[in-house]
Chains A and B, each alone.
Chain A
Amino acid sequence: MSNARSNILAKLKAQVKDSDYDKLPTEQGFEYPQLNRQQQLAQFITHLDNNHAQVIRLARHEIAAVIAQELQQRNITSLMYGDNSEYTHDIEQTDNSIELSKYDFDFSDNKQRLFDHTPAGITGSRCAIAQTGTIVLWPTKDEPRTLSLVPPLHFVIVDAKTLYRSFDELMVKQQWADKLPTNVVLVSGPSKTADIQQTLAYGAHGPKELIVLLLNT
């Protein structure tokens, strides 16, 4: 078994020479039409709408009230949020009708709590992509990966200022190639599947609902 590596590499190396690299033709990407800010924002929202996400445009000071309202509409009384994250203070402004709990524990000892007793979670986001209606989650120790994954309802706060035209532009501008965290997730809607007779159903395994709180500044 230990020979597998050297056997495979030897077989592959026997077929190519470094000089083959020079013969590679130039690759050319497609030049997409330039969109202005407003058009990009519209594109972002349209994609999310089509993918069954709910987009709410609001100002930062409205976060708490909007969360409370959305939760009440769904008869949900509790919400889990990140510890020390960018919007922690804004979230904590919700009234007493919502029981807030902080994700300040180790997941492995609290799996059941997250799976069975956490109806909603809220996270921030690193940035967003107009071309595909995508939100980039960059989980940290303050906003762990499972906070945006396990609860059936996921609120995500997106700052319109962080909207990029495309995925490739974003990776270049933010220099992702230099350093990536444990996990990055691109989210473009609630969990879905069309595995049974091509019929679209939402909430396959991840969040059944995705509510995007879009901060306009």
Chain B
Amino acid sequence: MSVVQVNPADESKYAASARAFRDNVTRDLANDELRSNFRGAMDYLMDKRKSAFNDQDELETLRRQCQLIKQRCLVKLPHLLEQLEAKLTANGIVVHWAETITEANQIIAHLIEAKNGKTVVKGKSMVSEETALNDHLEARGIECLESDMGEYIVQLAKEHPSHIIMPAIHQNKKQVADLFVKNIEGFEHTTDVDALIQQGRNVLRSKFCQADVGVSGVNFAVAETGTLCLVENEGNGRMCTTVPDLHIAITGIEKVVEHLADVPPLLSLLTRSATGQAISTYFNMISHPRQPGEKDGPSEVHLVLLDNGRSQMYADEELRQTLQCIRCGACMNHCPVYTRIGGHAYGTVYPGPIGQIVSPHMLGIEATTNLPTASSLCGACGEVCPVKIPIPKLLLRLREESVKPASQQPQVMKGQGSGRKPLEAFIWSMWATIHKSPFLYRASMWFATRGRWLMPSKIGAWTVARSAPKLASTTLHQRIKQREQAQQSVQGRGK
């Protein structure tokens, strides 16, 4: 058993909730309203995606192209990060590097405090969820308001996103209305979605106007030109990156692409896979802070590049494919497990299939041993993935990493062997020994068929909804032998 040493200050708050996976699942499966919210949303998103890809040839050509684009950018990653940094610096955008979530939060907090910033508006950024930036800033007395409508709802409810592109998908309009009544003074109860959005708009517009700082994520960082690209529909991303005088973008190191020409195919697959849109309402490309003579835009722009487990994914060629992800969410939309248990049950920032292969690197295997096993391996996630990440294969690989002896070299992942159980390991080693020796195999089969009445009728979770398996009275070897003998005697009589 390996004991993972984690500095409590550095451990993500999501490690504890990921450890509670089984309890979370029991809790959320019992919630009918939650289940119907997810079912409705997933059906909607699957239909949307389907309607956006009428031509299978086009889809497969684009998937292959985008897979290769991302793989090329990953092979060149260290070089591209240096090029990106050089280009951004030349453009006047300041680049910062962070290995851990704590480092990233501290960098951002220092930038804000240096400008005496008190209020922050944040565009949708899953990486800032990963670092739990809001908590960190609030503890330092800085107000950090989510401005994406879904994120705003989730923040009011003191929750975290249950889906990476539709954060409040677990709530229905009645729940949102109740939430607004409780939290917004003077709000009159209505379940009219236009009125609810109008309410959010009014609150947030005044915040945009006053905010000192805007924080955003990045969808693609273009090394060739030093450009930060943002995909969005609401306009809050544009607000956060245009209105406040200081803009801080945060992203994972895997978001860099080599050429500007890499962007259009990736963008097309991203929006179509995510919401079935040919393109998002806005596609924002930022290459400089405000230039002399310009009348608006932030005078300072910063980019924080975060590692947080990504270099670990990078170090293994198979696991490196995890970094191809463009965060469209299609894998969770098509996942039978996600649809039933919902996004919060995973306990991690990134839920669903992509979360199951990303989180073990970010939180360590010890906190996430249950995640790679929470899959029926039906393969839907791998089939819809726009960059062809073999998610089911990676889930199997992570199961393997989780039960490897902790001391086995090379150590690919933090927390290797955390899921290893002595009894299970013993059973499998016996199984392997027996199967390697014909004599042991035949002998054990002889005993097993004779002792089949010893097989218990209740075997834990397996028999809760299934009948217990039963060993046959004779082995396959014996049966074939019997058949051959019977045939020979028939032939003998015929002669």
Contacts and interface: CB of A to CB of B under 8 A. Distances in A.
A12 B314 contact: yes
A196 B193 contact: yes
A183 B230 CA distance: 11
Nearest to B150: A195
Contact of B44 (A166, A177, A198, A206): A198
Nearest to B292: A141
Interface string A5-40: 101110111111000110011011110100000000
A3 to B, nearest CB: 8
Interface stretch (B8-16, B58-66, B344-352, B479-487): B58-66
Contact of B78 (A9, A105, A183): A9
Contact of A195 (B167, B267, B311): B167
B29 interface: no
A188 B197 contact: no
A12 B150 contact: no
Contacts, number: 256
A28 B296 CA distance: 40
Interface of B is mostly: helix
Interface in A174-216: 176-177, 180-199, 201, 203-207
A189 B236 CA distance: 14
Interface string B231-268: 00111101100110100000001000001110111011
Given A29-B265, A105-B295, A203-B197, A187 B148 contact: no
Interface in A138-195: 140-141, 144-146, 149-150, 166-168, 171-172, 176-177, 180-195
Given A180-B225, A197-B172, A133 B235 contact: no
B237 to A, nearest CB: 9
Contacts of B205: 115, 205
A185 B233 contact: no
B225 A8 contact: no
A14 to B, nearest CB: 8
A187 B311 contact: no
A195 B124 CA distance: 12
Interface size class of B (residues with CB under 8 A): 35 or more
Contact of B173 (A51, A149, A199): A199
A4 B201 contact: no
A24 B294 contact: no
A186 B302 CA distance: 22
Interface string B144-179: 000111100100000000000011110111001000
Interface in B375-411: none
Contacts of A32: 58
Contacts of B278: 47, 131-133, 188
Given A4-B99, A15-B315, A177-B260, A145 B282 contact: no
Contacts of A11: 307, 311, 314-315
A1 B281 contact: no
B68 A185 contact: no
Among B167, B193, B235, B263, the most chain A Cβ lie within 10 Å of the Cβ of: B235
B150 to A, nearest CB: 4
Contacts of A146: 242-243, 296
A12 B61 contact: no
A217 interface: no
Interface stretch (A59-67, A91-99, A106-114, A118-126): A106-114
B32 interface: no
Contacts of B242: 145-146, 149, 183
Interface size class of A (residues with CB under 8 A): 35 or more
Given A4-B98, A30-B65, A198-B41, A204 B235 contact: yes
A188 B280 contact: yes
B210 to A, nearest CB: 8
B342 interface: no
B65 A111 contact: no
A187 B77 CA distance: 30
B286 A103 contact: no
Given A103-B295, A115-B209, A195-B168, A183 B201 contact: no
Interface in B127-152: 147-150
Interface in B165-201: 166-169, 171-173, 176, 193-194, 196-198, 200-201
Contacts of A196: 149-150, 153, 168, 171, 173, 176, 193, 196-197
A115 B209 CA distance: 7
The 9 A-B residue pairs with the shortest CB-CB distance, nearest first, are A206-B235, A107-B296, A195-B150, A204-B234, A186-B283, A205-B235, A12-B78, A191-B235, A132-B279
Given A20-B75, A27-B65, A150-B243, 15 more contacts: A11-B307, A12-B253, A21-B76, A27-B72, A115-B206, A140-B294, A167-B268, A171-B263, A180-B285, A182-B288, A182-B294, A185-B283, A193-B197, A197-B176, A205-B238
15 contacts: A27-B72, A30-B61, A107-B295, A115-B208, A132-B279, A168-B264, A177-B260, A184-B285, A186-B283, A197-B40, A198-B169, A201-B197, A205-B204, A205-B238, A206-B239
Interface of A: 1, 4-5, 7-9, 11-16, 20-21, 24-25, 27-30, 32, 47, 51, 103, 105-108, 111-112, 115, 131-134, 140-141, 144-146, 149-150, 166-168, 171-172, 176-177, 180-199, 201, 203-207
